[in-house]
A and B are shown apart, each in its own frame.
Chain A
Amino acid sequence: MAQPEVPVFDCNAALGRLHNQRVAYDTRDDLLRMMSESGIAKAVVYNPYCLHFGTVEGNQFLLEAIGGDQRLIAQFVVNFATDEISEIDALVRQSGIRSLRVVPATHRYPLVHWIADPWLEWMAQERMALWIPMSMRAEADARDLYETAKRHPKVPVVLAGAHYNSYPVVWPLVKALDHLYVDTSRFDLLDGINRLLQRAGPRRILFGSDFPDVDPRPYLHYLRRCGLSNADLEAICGGNLQRLIFAEG
């Protein structure tokens, strides 16, 4: 049986064009329309320009694209290896940024402690959370991710876009470290939500859309047919992310 609507807060949406392909939905209006058609109230959003070119520029483009819309929560992409904390710190404070995304493989550095420690210490102080894509192409080596994340238990780490191809890495990681969270946007595995619940509990699962690549409505349809308690459904659909981003709930 389908469950009632609950507030939905999307943990994984991109906003902006790519240099190497046409993006079907690339404007704020596209994103807001998708959200309204899918029953998504708010979304954490990053700009894909940051992945291949400049982080500081891309994060600025993101803020311009969001244009102050309260439904879109900006997430900065940073490069732990080449960005300066002092520069990012100023921008983060100015813009009220609550989470960062790193893409070590794309940015060509290992997620090792001697690169990441200063960032994660700063993030712990600022109570910020970290997103690392672990989709078909994992952005971090599992050993590095484990060793580095383990040193910073106060920084929640979201495994974004965890796909069944990354299962052999994601599955042991969520068991090994209890400050790791799983974004459901690509977690399509049969009975995957109930299996994740058993593995990690209801507070470490976050609904994500993977906009603009993926239509989120089918996954929300699925989430409402998992036999979850209303409390668990609410936590997965938005409560957990609210807590992570705003240290609320």
Chain B
Amino acid sequence: MIIDFHGHVGSFDSIGARQDADRILRAMDMAQVDLACVFNIGHGDASKANQLTAEFVAQHPDRFIGFLFVTPHYPEEMEAEMIRGADELGLKGIKIYPPYFNRSVEDAIWDPIFSFAHQRKLPVISHTDGTDPIVNPNNGEPQMFVPWAKKYPGANIVLAHAGNFRTGRQSCVRAARSCPNIYIEICTSWRHFRSIEDLVEGAGEDRVLYGSDLPLIDPRIHTGRVLTANISDDAKRKILGDNAARLLHLS
């Protein structure tokens, strides 16, 4: 089974990514992806975002798994919305995006989210980026997730884009090696040589997850990164689905 751990509900029109479930499903079929995790991060109103995610998933419940989202700009709404998202809407993980919200990962504002994920044993996926945190303090430098992972060991923290660049990948590997509940998701528009091999060698094949960033990026490109990598078939199976199934409590 192939599980895509990173997909968006909603449109990004200015970069050519309009929400189109049929087009997404066609690409998933061609990539032989069975399930995709999706979230909506575009709304200032998290309840609206989560509603849209749940409605999108409800149209194809056999193909999509919804993740919830909450905005740090309305901390007073966070807890109730997380409970509603998980219990009423059936959302199975949490997405955060520090650069969109101009908040550093180190900000205490995220505490209730990691705490909720810890209590409910949910994965939290966050945008990450390996650029210098002094220059870009809100970009999601991978090391910044380590204190959260140690404080909330029940929360499985997924570093999206594997830090995007080489330095970011190395930082993701260090983070994963220091915490058993940190995972690394691979999608990025940077498809460097040996990126998958380096993640597997550094963090281990149990800690790497396939993701595509659909509908921005075609899922065939990132399944292709895993399938063409010089790693064992067993490692490919784990990255493409088995690891995700474990985090989503599907196996």
Contacts and interface: CB of A to CB of B under 8 A. Distances in A.
B26 A188 contact: no
Contacts, number: 91
Nearest to A189: B16
Interface string A181-194: 00000101111110
Contacts of B221: 188, 218-219, 221-222
Interface stretch (B56-64, B127-135, B222-230): B222-230
Contacts of A148: none
Contacts of A219: 191, 221, 224
Nearest to B212: A190
A164 B12 CA distance: 10
A188 B15 CA distance: 11
Contact of B216 (A25, A164, A226, A227): A164
Contact of A225 (B24, B30, B216, B225): B30
B27 A191 contact: yes
Grouping DSSP codes into helix (H, G, I), strand (E, B) and loop, the B interface class, with mixed when no group exceeds half, is: helix
A155 B237 CA distance: 47
Given A217-B224, A225-B31, A189 B192 contact: no
B220 interface: yes
B56 to A, nearest CB: 15
Nearest to A22: B166
Interface string A205-230: 00000001111011111100111000
B214 A222 contact: no
Given A188-B221, A190-B24, A214 B192 contact: yes
B217 interface: yes
Given A188-B216, A190-B219, A168 B224 contact: no
B232 interface: no
Interface in A155-180: 163-165, 167-168, 171
B14 A227 contact: no
A214 B222 contact: no
B189 A188 contact: yes
A221 B224 contact: yes
A193 to B, nearest CB: 8
A193 B23 CA distance: 12
Contacts of B224: 217-222
B195 A192 contact: no
Q: Which residue, of B193, B214, B215, has the highest number of chain A Cβ atoms within 10 A?
A: B193
Interface residues of A, number: 30
Interface in A220-247: 220-222, 225-227
B218 A168 contact: no
A24 interface: yes
B100 interface: no
A164 B191 contact: no
B190 A222 contact: no
B227 A190 contact: no
B30 A227 contact: yes
B213 to A, nearest CB: 9
Interface string B15-56: 111000001101100110000000000000000000000000
Contacts of A164: 15-17, 189, 216-217
Interface of B: 14-17, 23-24, 26-27, 30-31, 189-195, 214-225, 227-228
Given A164-B189, A213-B192, A218-B191, 11 more contacts: A25-B193, A189-B16, A190-B17, A190-B24, A190-B214, A215-B192, A218-B221, A218-B222, A218-B225, A221-B224, A226-B30
24 contacts: A34-B193, A163-B189, A164-B189, A165-B15, A167-B16, A171-B16, A188-B216, A189-B15, A189-B217, A191-B218, A192-B218, A214-B193, A215-B191, A215-B192, A215-B194, A218-B191, A218-B221, A218-B222, A219-B224, A220-B224, A221-B220, A221-B227, A225-B220, A226-B30
